[in-house]
Every structure is written in structure tokens, then in C-alpha cells.
Amino acid sequence: MIESIEAALFPIVCKINEYLSNYILVFLLLGIGFWYSIKTRFVQIRCFKEGWNSVFGNLSLRGKKHDSGMSSFQALATAIAAQVGTGNIVGASGAILTGGPGAIFWMWLIAFFGMATIYAEATLAQETRIVEKDGNVKGGPVYYITTAFKGGFGKFLAGFFAIAITLALGFFGCMVQSNSIGETFSNAFNVPTWIIGVVLVAICGFIFLGGVQRLASVTEKIVPIMAAVFLAGGLIVLIARIKYVPATFGMIFRYAFAPQAIIGGGFGAALKIALSQGAKRGLFSNEAGMGSTPHAHAQANVKNPHQQGVVAMIGVFIDTFVVLTLNALVIISTLYTEGGPLHGCGAAAAQDVLKKTNLAQTAFGVVFGESAGAMFVAVCLFFFAFSTILGWNLFGKINMAYLFGQKSTVVYTVIALVFIFLGTLTSSDLVWELSDMFNNLMVIPNAIALFALTGLVVKHVNGTPEADRWE
């Protein structure tokens, strides 16, 4: 029965995703990013130093406890925890396999414009957040959607977004993340997946029940450490493969504009595949425009919305231009360059040689050895996916409370833990596609509100008196 339902739904969901990712999202994400880049006079360039200094000027892994919300860095760490996940390893691997090395270029382009988009999201999340008498902070796209559109239309868009994100991230998304943890750990350490599932549920349950404060305390410690470990491992590989690094960058740019050379077929069709893979996986990785990370940025206690906006940009930079890029360089320099198993291999043939989940493990194994490479990626993926589960659970919980009230969050937490456990036991192509579909659908109401509230964002980036009330 279940298998027949899955077989019937799978092609339908795939077709929906094809149209959403290949046509709507490519233009929508690039469009809104370009729009905000122009309207803010390229805030991602002008205010990059300000954001960098805000993040790293007084970096500490032991931030003070807040009566409500989080510190600016804790909010960023929670956002990065959500951004840096399987999309950086599995997603990037899949994009390279399907769209060729050139897909990474389009990820960069998406991320560059996405920095302006996420500035707008974080600024609006701060502007429209609600701090209740008990200190509980409520904020996110549903609140700036209903600010942009009053009445029934606004409630419809907000409700649509809340349902989509709860399903996409809180349930299906966390299931996808736990599946990646279970699969990689089982392959690397030969541990039964059900044991991994039990341990993961126990740890997650403990953190979930501790509320925002416990989550903030965990993410501000785990995110810098996991990033440092992965960067160190990646740099070791690149140093060992240093003579192939120039060719690696050359392949990224060459196959971005001549994708047919590796994908096959005509130029137009090949470009569409490379661009759509970059857009789809770029969105899944940096989450700019998706409407997820504004929930974390709304929790930040800052002087004004602009301050958190520039901090949010650094999250996209770290996610794509640092972590994802490093993983891509490792994969291409070890597997696609001269002597690598995929050198001169077309996308179709490459997929027959390697699966996207083990692509990174194979790449690191070239330098570290097969066993050590698999273990290193498994450990990194655990922390990446685990941190993402923490962030996504919070985002889903906020929207569940919006839909059904605060008491519903207990039921939500139990259901989320069940999905996390099931994810370690089984892999379903339908679950992956459903996660992608609801991810894609989230973007639409979020983007509509972002366009509608352009004027409010511009006021903050320009430092007009409307922002001074926060001082």
C-alpha cells in the first residue's frame, strides 16, 4: 500500500520540483537578490566589513545568558547551524555530479545576490518581531508577511508559509538530515543505523526541551568548532593537491559557460541543467530567500535591525564562499583533475561511477586514505547535519506556535523526534523530493513579502530616522 502510494506520488512531486527549481526559483532568487543589491546599493559589498567586524570583533564561545532571545552571535550561529548542513556536502556533491563543476559558479552567483536578500530578511525579522511579557520572542516571515499584507490575503500567505516550512524543515528536512547521518556513520564505522537513531533522538530531545536558551548555548559552541575542523581537513587536502588547484578553478569557470562539454547535449539544455543545479542546491545550502534563517535573526538582541542584517550576510558568506567552496575544491581537485576517477567523465557517466553521498568521502580518501577519508566526512557530516536539525526544529516550532498556539509545540517536538529516528532507518527518494518541494514552495510567499517591503528595508540600510527608534 505505502509502496504504491510512493510510486504514484514520486513522479508528480519530481515534475513539480522540476518546474519550480528550473524556472520559477532561478528567476525569483536571482531577481530578488539583484533587486535588493540595486536598492541597497550593494549592501553586501558596502557593509561587508561592518558585518565581519560585528561577528568576529568580540568572538566568544560562551555568550552571556539573555532573559529573552539571543545575542547577535548566538542568532548567527543558529542561522549558520541551519545553513551549513548536508547541502554543503551532499548537495554540493549532487550539483557537481549532475550539473558539472560549473554548477559551483552559479552557486557563487546565487550566494552573492543572496547576501543582499538575507540582509532584507534579517532586517525585516527584527523590525516586525514581537517580544511578549514573559520574554518569549516571536519573529519570522509570518510576521513580516502579515505586515506587508493586511487582512485575509496576508493571513493566507503567512499560513501557507508556516505549513510549508513546518513540513519542509521541521519534519521532512530533519528526516533527510538524520538519514545522511545514519548512512555515513554506518558506512564509516559499521554501526547499526538504529543505534545512531536512538543516540541522535536522545541528544536532540534534551536540547529541544531546553528551549531557545539551551539551543543558543549549544550552537554558539558547535558551529565555530565544526567549521574549523572541516576547514582544517579541506586545507590539508588542497595543500596536498596544490598543483591541481589552478586547473580546478579553471574547470569551474570553463564548465559554467561551456557546460555541454561535460554534461552533453546542446548548449542551452546543458546551461539550464548547470544553472538550475546551482540555484537549487545553492538555495538549499545558503537558505537566502527561503525564509528560514530570519527566525533565528529575529531572536537577536541588537541596537537596530541594520546591525543584525549585516551580521546575517556573513552567514551566507561563510556557508557558500568558505565551507561549500572548500568542499567543492576538494572534490574537483581530487576526482575531476588529471588522474582522478572522473577526469574527462561526463555527468551521466559520473553518476554511474559514484553516488552523491559518498562523493566527498571518496574525495577526502584520495589524500587521507579510503577509511580515514570516510571517517572524517562522516564526523563532519554528523555535526553539520546535527546542527541543521537543531536550527530547523526551532524554525518549525515557531511556525507551529503561530498556527496552533504555544501548547502545540510539545506535540510538534514528539513528531519531529519520530521523523528524525525514522530518517536513520530508511532512505526514501520521495522524502528527499518532498523536502525539496516544500523548500521551493516556502520561497514564493516569502519573496512576495520581501518585494512588498522594499521601502522599509531601504530605510534601515540608509540609516534614516525610522531606524533611530531602536537606539
Return the sign of the alpha-carbon dihedral for residues 359, 360, 361, 365. positive
- Amino acid (one-letter) located at 215: L
- pLDDT, residue 121, reads 95
Strands in 121-193 per DSSP E: 130-131, 137-138
Whether the predicted pLDDT of 466 surpasses 60: no
pLDDT in tens, 25-81: 778 888 899 999 999 999 999 999 999 998 887 655 555 555 556 788 888 888 887
- pLDDT, residue 69, reads 63
pLDDT over 70 for what percent of the chain? Answer: 86
- pLDDT, residue 386, reads 85
> Which CATH code of 3.40.50.10600, 1.20.1740.10, 1.10.630.10, 1.10.260.40 fits the domain covering 12-50+73-458?
1.20.1740.10
pLDDT in tens, 426-464: 766 777 788 888 888 898 999 999 999 999 999 888 764
The more confidently predicted of residues 175 and 359 is 175
Closest C-alpha to 141, from 310, 287, 303: 287
Element (H, E) at 375: helix 370-404
pLDDT in tens, 319-342: 889 888 998 899 889 888 877 777
Whether the predicted pLDDT of 229 surpasses 70: yes
- pLDDT, residue 262, reads 61
The more confidently predicted of residues 278 and 402 is 402
Q: What is the mean predicted confidence (pLDDT) over 264-271?
A: 64
Whether the predicted pLDDT of 90 surpasses 80: no
- pLDDT, residue 79, reads 84
Q: What's the pTM?
A: 0.87
Average pLDDT score over the chain: 82
